[in-house]
Amino acid sequence: MAGRPALPKNIHILKGTGKKNPARMKARENEPENKSPVKPAPDYFSPVLVKLYNEIVGISIDGVLGEADSIAVEQAAILLSKLRGLHIEDGEVVKATIPEHNQFFKYLSQFGMLPSDRSKIQIAPKKKVNRFDD
């Protein structure tokens, strides 16, 4: 059985675990950073899927999701439409399967959207702007 997947640097920063264990941050110093925001919902999405995509992005914790996560958010929106009974294919409602339920909750966990995951994230307070700073 494989160990837990490694957490990305931005999650360690948000959780504050980088300060507790600096070796974690050293191992990730060349890790790419997700500096761009999540892309808008794809053009092929129906209005319902666009609404669900925007709902997921809108309730996500600042600093967790970025452009590289857009495909995962896209898939989570599709799964959410099935969970809510809103997904229609060939005129029929498609409900989520048990594996799809599990996958959706895995996405929520990875996005820091479940209580146990949220409790692990610490966001540093924003620095106060000093008008005398350059």
Q: What is the pLDDT of residue 23?
A: 73
pLDDT at 92 over 80: yes
pLDDT band at 96 (very low <50, low <70, confident <90, very high): very high
Token pair belonging to 97: 């399967």
User: For 13-22, what is each residue's pLDDT tens digit?
Assistant: 667 776 777 7
pLDDT at 81 over 90: yes
pLDDT band at 48 (very low <50, low <70, confident <90, very high): very high
Token pair belonging to 82: 């099935």
What integer is the mean pLDDT of 83-98? 94
Report the C-alpha gap between 10 and 64 in whole angstroms.
7
Look at residue 88 and give its three-state secondary structure.
strand
Q: Most distant CA pair in the chain: distance in Å?
A: 62
Burial class (CB in 10 A: 0-12, 13-18, 19+), 126: exposed
Task: Read off the DSSP letter of residue 69.
Answer: G
pLDDT, the chain, mean = 83
Report the C-alpha gap between 18 and 12 in whole angstroms.
5
pLDDT at 126 over 90: no
Q: What are the contacts of 95-98 at 24+ separation with CB within 8 A?
A: none
Task: Read off the DSSP letter of residue 96.
Answer: P
